[in-house]
Amino acid sequence: IFPCTIKGKIENRDDLRINSDGLTVIIEIRFDKPTLFNMASLGSRTVILNFTPFPSQYEDYKVIAPGVVWYRKEENFGRFKLRVNYLEIDATKDFEAVPAFSKKGIGSLERLTEMVKEEGGIAGVNGNYFDPLAGFPIGIVVRNGKVLSIPYGGRPMLVETFSGDYYIVSTSAEVNVKLKDRFLLVKAMNNPSKSNCVVYTHEYSKPIPKRENYVYFVVERGKVISRSYVEKAPKDGYVVAVSKDLERYVEDVSVGDESSIYLDLGTFPFAVKNAVEGGPRILEGGKIIEYIEEEKMRYGGGIIVKRAPRTVVATKPPSKLVFMVIDGYQLKSSGLTFEELADFLLKKGYIDAMCLDGGSSSVMVVEGRVVNNPPRGSEPRISVGIVIKKKSWR
């Protein structure tokens, strides 16, 4: 409260603390349950604060940073009970959603709590689908403008642009690498694929596979610095592994030639700062997607028809990004099928929405602790997390 003159003694108690420097006053009130308030000013000398409890379905609620709110609700959907954790980010404020990996690198699994801690974040959810045995992400990952994994099967992606806007994008996408004046379609990135054009970045956690029928180009700071095998890509570059059947296209590429990587998102017009891939897509323009049957075909039957835990990302006007983790496989929270989830989200008033990896991978972390109930009783190890942290203004 500013300005304010204190006359008389200030008294503090456990649930009420008042501090003053003679000019301003800070009033801190602690409640034992989530509480709403509004403030009414009466004249120049009186301020009234009105406090009301949240509706009973809120189990917990906390503003964890300016523009970042977490809350948990018990909800009913038809005859089913649901326990849902929400993480809402105001995109106009100082926090963003950033893809994160194990500190060992891409291809290693890690708990989300460790990813959030390593990134200096305040919260997070699980991200891409992944190969549970090899640990490699499935689908596109872009971090701070750097492509780290390529698109898969036309699935939707959550994209942040360099202006700080978020989009859920469903479009044809591909990654190309330029060597000298030749463009090659990248068939795999940061995994031990035997495709004819594979790119490895410094983030790859394992030694680059050495194969006799491949030629290797080492690129650093946009220039080819070597045409020989290396076990690890440079920090400011990458390694391009090209199989013998494509070698004739790059046989005259030499040390000193230029190289770059291009992400093509078809009709999407903006440069991509951060991106993760998931699916299925659920809402587009405030409606259930018109191509729902086609979308179902992109995924295994279990993802669509089973009632399961779900991790979801949605956009909400005017500038909210909302992550949800819906518990499942439990008496207190059954989870949802794909079509049930579509109806559930439509009633929430979201504009666009898509699933991230779900099932036993569904997890949300807030301030260093897991806030949902993972179905296996312990925090899962995942390939890609989405961490909420202070914006980088690259």
pLDDT digits (tens, 9 = 90+) for 222-240: 999 999 999 999 999 999 9
Q: Confidence class of residue 7 from pLDDT cuts 50, 70 and 90?
A: low
pLDDT at 1: 46
pLDDT at 293: 84
Cβ within 8 Å of residue 323, ≥6 positions away: 86, 87, 88, 89, 97, 125, 311, 312, 313, 364, 386
pLDDT value at 361 more than 50: yes
DSSP-assigned letter for residue 152: -
pTM: 0.86
| Summary mean pLDDT of the chain | 91
Domain annotation covers residue 347: yes
Domain annotation covers residue 7: no
Residue whose structure tokens are 């949902």: 372
**Whether 260 and 283 share a structural domain:** no
pLDDT at 131: 96
pLDDT value at 60 more than 70: yes
**Whether 215 and 290 share a structural domain:** no
**Whether 102 and 196 share a structural domain:** no
pLDDT value at 243 more than 60: yes
pLDDT value at 50 more than 90: no
CA 387 to chain centre: 6
CA dihedral 301, 303, 304, 308 (to 10 degrees): 130
3-state secondary structure of 330: strand
pLDDT at 376: 87
pLDDT value at 25 more than 80: no
pLDDT digits (tens, 9 = 90+) for 275-309: 999 999 999 999 999 988 888 888 876 778 889 99
pLDDT at 299: 82
Domain count, the chain: 2
Degrees, nearest 5: CA angle 22-25-28: 145
**Whether 98 and 201 share a structural domain:** no
Domain annotation covers residue 346: yes
**Whether 77 and 126 share a structural domain:** yes
Q: Give yes or no for a contact between 335 and 360, defined as CB atoms under 8 angstroms apart.
A: no
pLDDT value at 192 more than 80: yes
Residue whose structure tokens are 């109930």: 373
**Whether 259 and 282 share a structural domain:** no
Residue scoring higher pLDDT (112 or 339): 112
Domain that holds residue 245: 175-264
**Whether 300 and 380 share a structural domain:** yes
Domain annotation covers residue 336: yes
Residue scoring higher pLDDT (270 or 301): 270
Domain annotation covers residue 374: yes
**Whether 281 and 381 share a structural domain:** yes
Domain annotation covers residue 111: yes
Range of lowest pLDDT (1-15, 55-69, 101-115, 213-227): 1-15
Amino acid at position 327, single letter = D
Domain-terminating residue out of 239, 264, 289? 264
pLDDT value at 2 more than 50: no
Domain-terminating residue out of 217, 234, 264? 264
Domain annotation covers residue 38: no
Q: Confidence class of residue 354 from pLDDT cuts 50, 70 and 90?
A: very high
**Whether 118 and 192 share a structural domain:** no
**Whether 238 and 280 share a structural domain:** no
> What b/e string do you get for 70-109 counting C-beta neighbours within 10 Å, with b at 16 or more?
bbbbeeebeeeebbbbbbbbbbeeebbbbbbbbeebbbbb
Percent of the chain having pLDDT more than 90? 76
pLDDT at 12: 57
What value does the mean pLDDT take over residues 260-277?
97
pLDDT at 19: 76
Q: Confidence class of residue 186 from pLDDT cuts 50, 70 and 90?
A: very high
pLDDT at 270: 97
pLDDT at 9: 58
H or E segment at 64?
strand 58-65
pLDDT value at 88 more than 50: yes
Rounded Cα distance, 230 and 217, in Å: 9
pLDDT value at 38 more than 70: no
Residue scoring higher pLDDT (16 or 126): 126
Burial class (CB in 10 A: 0-12, 13-18, 19+), 158: buried
Domain-terminating residue out of 264, 294, 328? 264
Q: Read out DSSP for 240-298?
A: EEEEGGGHHHHTT--TT-BEEEEEE-TT--S-EEEEEE---EEEETTEE-TTHHHHHTT
Domain annotation covers residue 116: yes
Rounded Cα distance, 219 and 258, in Å: 8
**Whether 214 and 118 share a structural domain:** no
What value does the mean pLDDT take over residues 324-341?
94
**Whether 285 and 366 share a structural domain:** yes
